[in-house]
Amino acid sequence: MAAPPKVPAVLDPVTAPSISFARAIDDLRRGWQQRSLWGHLGWQDIRQRYRRSVLGPVWITISMAVTAVALGILYAGLFDQDLDVMLPHVLVGFIVWAFISGCIAEGSEVFIANEGLIKHLPAPLSVHVYRLVWRQLLFFAHNMIVYAVMLVFFPQDLKWTALAAVPAIALLALNGAWVALAVGVITTRFRDILPITQSVVQLMFFLTPIVWIYDQLVNSPNPAIAERARLAEFNPFLHFVEIVRQPLLGQDQVWRHWVVVLAITVVGWVAALLVLRRYRSRVSYWV
Amino acid sequence: MSVSQSTGGPVSIVTKDACVDFPIFDAKSRSLKKTVVGLVGGNIDSGARIPVIEALRDVTLDLQHGARVGLVGHNGAGKSTLLRLLSGIYEPTRGVAEIRGRVAPVFDLGVGMDPEISGLENIMIRGLFLGMTRKQMEQRVDDIADFTELGDFLRMPLRTYSTGMRVRLALGVVTSIDPEILLLDEGIGAVDAAFLEKSKQRLVELVERSGLLVFASHSEEFLRQLCDTALWLEHGRIKAQGDLDDVLRRYGGQPL
- CB under 8 Å to A268, separation ≥6 — which residues? A175, A178, A179, A182
Is residue B131, in this structure, part of any structural domain at all?
no
The strand pairing partners of B105, in sequence order, are: B183
- Domain annotation covers residue B94: yes
CA dist B112 to A116, B86, B130, B230, Å?
5, 18, 12, 28
Among B70, B77, B101, residue whose Cα is nearest residue B3: B101
Question: What ipTM score was computed for the predicted complex, to two decimals?
Answer: 0.83
SS3 B73: coil
Q: Kindly state whether residue A51 falls inside one of the protein's structural domains.
A: no
Our CA angle for B173, B176, B181, nearest 5°, is: 85
Q: What is the pLDDT of residue B186?
A: 75
CA distance B22 to A285: 6
What residue of B is the nearest CA neighbor of A27? B4
* Cα distance between residue A153 and residue A146, in whole Å: 11
Do residues B244 and B220 touch, judged by C-beta distance below 8 A? no
B92 domain-assigned: yes
Query: DSSP class of residue B157?
Result: B
Taking the Cβ of residue B98 and every Cβ of chain A, the question of whether any pair is shorter than 8 Å is answered with yes
Q: How far apart are CA A119 and CA B85, in angstroms?
A: 11
The dihedral of CA A264, A104, A279, A40: what is its sign?
negative
Q: Which residues of A touch B1 (CB under 8 A)?
A: 17-19, 281
Q: Output the pTM of the full model.
A: 0.88
Interface test with B, best of A45, A280, A285, A287 (most B CBs within 10 A): A285
Q: Per the CB < 8 Å rule, is A120 touching B31?
A: no
Please tell me what DSSP assigns to residue B219: -
Nearest CB neighbour to A37, from listed B105, B108, B128 = B128
How many degrees, rounded to 5, is the angle at CA A43 between CA A37 and CA A49? Answer: 130
Please, how many CA atoms are within 13 Å of residue A70, restricted to the half-sphere of its CB?
A: 6
Q: What is the CATH number of the domain that holds B49?
A: 3.40.50.300
What phi and psi, each to the nearest 5 degrees, are found at residue A136?
Answer: -65, -35
Q: Is residue B116 part of a domain?
A: no
How far is residue B81 from each of residues A31, A236, B55, B228, measured CA to CA in Å?
Answer: 24, 43, 7, 22
Instruction: Name the residue range of residue A238's domain.
Output: 21-34+57-286
d(CA B85, CA A227): 58
Q: Transcribe A219-252 into DSSP letters.
A: T-SSHHHHHHHHGGGG-HHHHHHHHHHHHHTTPP
- Beta-strand pair B103-106/B237-243: unpaired
Number of domains in chain A: 1
Interface probe, candidates B4, B7, B100, B133, chain A, greatest A C-beta count within 10 A: B4
Residue-range definition of the domain harbouring residue B66 = 2-102+217-251
| B227 in any annotated domain | yes
DSSP state, residue B158: G
Q: Per the CB < 8 Å rule, is B33 touching A116?
A: no
Which of A265, A274, A256, A42 is CA-nearest to residue A170? A265
| Interatomic CA distance for residues A207 and A232, integer angstroms | 7
pLDDT tens digit at each of 287 positions of chain A: 444 444 444 456 667 888 889 999 999 999 999 999 999 999 988 988 888 888 888 898 999 999 999 999 999 999 888 999 999 999 999 999 999 999 999 999 999 999 888 988 889 999 999 999 999 999 999 999 999 999 999 999 898 889 999 999 999 999 999 999 999 999 999 999 999 999 999 999 999 999 999 888 888 888 888 888 888 889 999 999 999 999 999 998 899 999 999 999 999 999 999 999 999 999 999 98
Alpha carbon distance, N-terminus to C-terminus of chain B: 35
In a domain, B200, yes or no: no
Cβ atoms B232, B250 nearer than 8 A? yes
- For residue B160, the Cα-to-chain-centroid distance in whole angstroms is 25
Domain contains B66: yes
Specify which residues B118 forms β-bridges with.
B157
Instruction: Round the average pLDDT of chain A to a whole number and report it.
Output: 91
Other Cβ atoms closer than 10 A to A118: 22
- Return d(Cα A233, Cα A260) in angstroms, integer: 10
**pLDDT values of chain B reduced to their tens digit, one per residue, 256 residues:** 444 444 556 889 999 999 998 888 875 555 565 555 544 433 333 444 677 888 999 999 999 988 899 999 988 889 989 999 999 999 999 999 999 988 888 886 656 678 888 899 889 988 888 888 889 999 999 889 988 898 888 999 988 988 888 888 888 888 888 888 989 887 666 677 788 788 888 888 877 776 789 999 888 888 888 888 999 999 899 999 999 999 999 998 765 4
Interface probe for B, chosen from A28, A36, A120 (most Cβ of B below 10 Å), is A120
**Could A40 and B124 be called an inter-chain contact, meaning their C-beta atoms sit closer than 8 Å?**
yes
The answer to whether residue B148 is domain-embedded is: no
Q: Note whether B22 contacts A: Cβ–Cβ < 8 A.
A: yes
Q: Are B224 and B203 in contact (CB under 8 A)?
A: no
- End-to-end Cα distance, chain A: 42
**Total number of domains in chain B:** 1
